[in-house]
Structure 1
Amino acid sequence: MKRTLILLYGVACYAVFFATFLYAIGFIGNLWVPKGMDSPPTAPFATALLIDLGLLALFAVQHSVMARPAFKRAWTRLIPESAERSTYTLLSSVALILLFWLWSPLGGTVWNVQHPAARTALYTLFAAGWVLLLYTTFLLNHFDLFGLRQVWLQFRGRPYTPLPFRTPTVYRWVRHPLYVAWLLTFWATPTMTMTHLLFAVMTTVYILLAIRWEERDLVAALPEYADYRRRVPMLVPGTRRAEKAPRSRSLA
């Protein structure tokens, strides 16, 4: 019975994630959803700015703290280890849902591209970002990333085995194609408002910080990652500049 409940919990967490992922496309692109990023302002500028910064900070803290090995070790004393990734996925989705719900647009326009070909090119880059994002999750293991593999293995009574270190296709060009995809979705827009600029700048800063934390954990966990880090650029293909590897230790 416990195995079945954990499996159903994992499936439910994934369903919440996927619905949130679809809404995020509409929210960032101001497409189809009842409240997009650039909906009409409803609060004074300063109030809206504080609300939005708070929501972004909440997501950043949840997303990063729960991903650290030390937190995982403590967290899995309270919840089944097989449900840890599903819980992380669920709480990340909840943080995004709160952001969608409480987001307070600022108003104002930074740029507005009018040329039809240029607008089409930017929308194409926006769409390409979402396609690349989903594609990169399947290159390694989409179902492991979002917790389904873990709950399925425990349901079958099989031990979890970590994924081997691999660098398929786009991972040979950049170390973090998933973050490249996110940056495309944030910045590729024909109409950049103050609201969108705030979102894009703050999420970009968060991504650059998250890469440092993530790679420190990866170097500690995977001996081969340090060499990979020296050989492959972080975000921009073709910039094969040797980078100093972080110290091989965890954040514990």
Structure 2
Amino acid sequence: MPYTIDKSIIVLEYNPLIIDLLLLVLFGVQHSVMARAFFKNNLLSKLSDTFKSATYCIASALCLVAIVYFWQPIDGYLWKFEDGVMFWIFTTLYVLGWSFAFISTFLIDHFELFGLHQGYRVLKNLPEPPLKFQVRYFYKFVRHPIQLGTLIGLVATPSMSYGHLLLSIGMLIYVLIGLYFEEKDLLKTFGQEYLEYKKTTPMLIPFIHSRR
């Protein structure tokens, strides 16, 4: 591809570290704030519940476009494998990680997650189904397989430049902070049912249980 995380679309004459950090903060704040109940119930209170998920996804897409378009490379590599065994190990993990995240979206209803089912029900004049807590497949081993797969895909790269490392660390911090607040919302929504699930299923690392 002509442009990658190590070859920018547009070159800005400014400190690349500051620009990249600002882009990560923009992405993290938008994702975390817009996902919270207080934002939906206040700033989006006049917007139908049907369109809130789609609005969130559009805003997220715009932030992601900003990262892709304005991200500035940072010289140097932590590791770089262009062939051989390590290249294929990292490439395999990369593919498995993103595939794991993608498949996980379908296990909780991919089209509901991105606001498409909500719009379809409005067009067909169908009622909103009641919320139902369910644990299927990957969710039996970790509570957040989408985030786990995403982190694997970010870290398992044959070429880990310092710019890529910054992105990976930034996203890891975002995921951990975001999941802290997301789990609070899930506890409010599903109560004791989610609390029991939380006690028996690790958050991100399979087979490692929290004793709290």
Q: TM-score, normalised by structure 1?
A: 0.79
* 1:70 partnered with 2:38: yes
3-state SS in 2 of match to 1:189? coil
SS class of match (2:27) = helix
1:229 alignment counterpart: 198
The C-alpha deviation readout for 1:114-145, integer Å capped at 9, x for no partner, is 56111101101111111111100000100100
1:144 is the counterpart of 2:112: yes
User: CA distance change for structure 1 residues 188 and 107 in 2, over 3 Å: closer, same or farther?
Assistant: same
Mind listing any 5+ residue stretches in structure 1 that lack a counterpart? 1-31, 244-252
Cα deviation, residue 146, structure 1: 0.3
Alignment correspondent of 1:129: 97
1:103 aligned partner, one-letter code: W
Deviation digits for residues 94-124 of structure 1 (CA, Å, limit 9, x no counterpart): 0000111111111111112356111101101
| Structure-2 residue corresponding to 1:169 | 137
| Distance (whole Å) between structure 2 residues aligned to residue 76 and residue 205 of structure 1 | 26
For 1:237 and 1:81, how far apart are their aligned partners in 2? 34
After superposition, the Cα gap between the structure-2 partners of 1:145 and 1:162, relative to the gap in structure 1 and judged at 3 Å, is farther
Q: Percent identity?
A: 34
Larger RCO of the pair (alpha carbons < 8 Å, separation 6+)? 2
1:241 aligns with 2:210: yes
State the alpha-carbon separation in 2 of the partners of residues 42 and 59 from structure 1.
20
Q: 2:84 aligns with which of 116, 135, 152?
A: 116
> Which amino acid is 1:205 matched to?
I
Contact residue 231 and residue 242 of structure 1 kept, 8 A = no
| Counterpart check, 1:158 vs 2:130 | no
**Consecutive unaligned residues in structure 2, runs of 5 or more:** none
Question: What's the secondary structure of 2:160's corresponding residue?
Answer: strand
Paired residue for 1:15?
Answer: none
Q: Measure, in 1, the Cα distance between the counterparts of 2:130 and 2:151.
A: 28
SS in 2 for 1:192: strand
Query: Are 1:79 and 2:47 counterparts?
Result: yes
After TM superposition, the structure 1 = structure 2 runs for residues 30-45 of structure 1, keeping only pairs within 5 Å, are: 32=1, 34-39=2-7, 42=11
In the alignment of these two chains, the number of paired residues is 210
Q: TM-score, normalised by structure 2?
A: 0.93
Residue 93 of structure 1: aligned partner: 61
Partner residue of 1:201 out of 169, 172, 175: 169
Q: Displacement, 1:167?
A: 0.8
Does 1:56 pair with 2:21?
no
- Give the equivalent residue in structure 2 for 1:16: none
Q: Helix, strand or coil for the counterpart of 1:66?
A: helix
Q: Distance in 2 between matches of 1:174 and 1:145?
A: 18
State the Cα distance separating 1:156 from its structure 2 match.
1.3
Q: CA deviation at 1:242?
A: 1.9
Moved more, 220-229 or 35-44: 35-44
Q: Contact 1:179 / 1:207 at 8 angstroms: preserved in 2?
A: yes
Say which SS state the counterpart of residue 118 (structure 1) adopts: helix
CA distance in 2, matches of 1:97, 1:162: 34
How far apart, in 1, do the equivalents of 2:107 and 2:163 lie?
33
SS of the equivalent of 2:78 reads strand
Are the equivalent residues in 2 in contact too, given 1:170–1:177 (CA < 8 A)?
yes
Separation in structure 1 between the aligned mates of residue 82 and residue 73 of structure 2, nearest angstrom: 22
Letter in 1 for 2:156: A
| Secondary structure of 2:28 counterpart | helix
Contact 1:35 1:100 in 2 (8 A): no
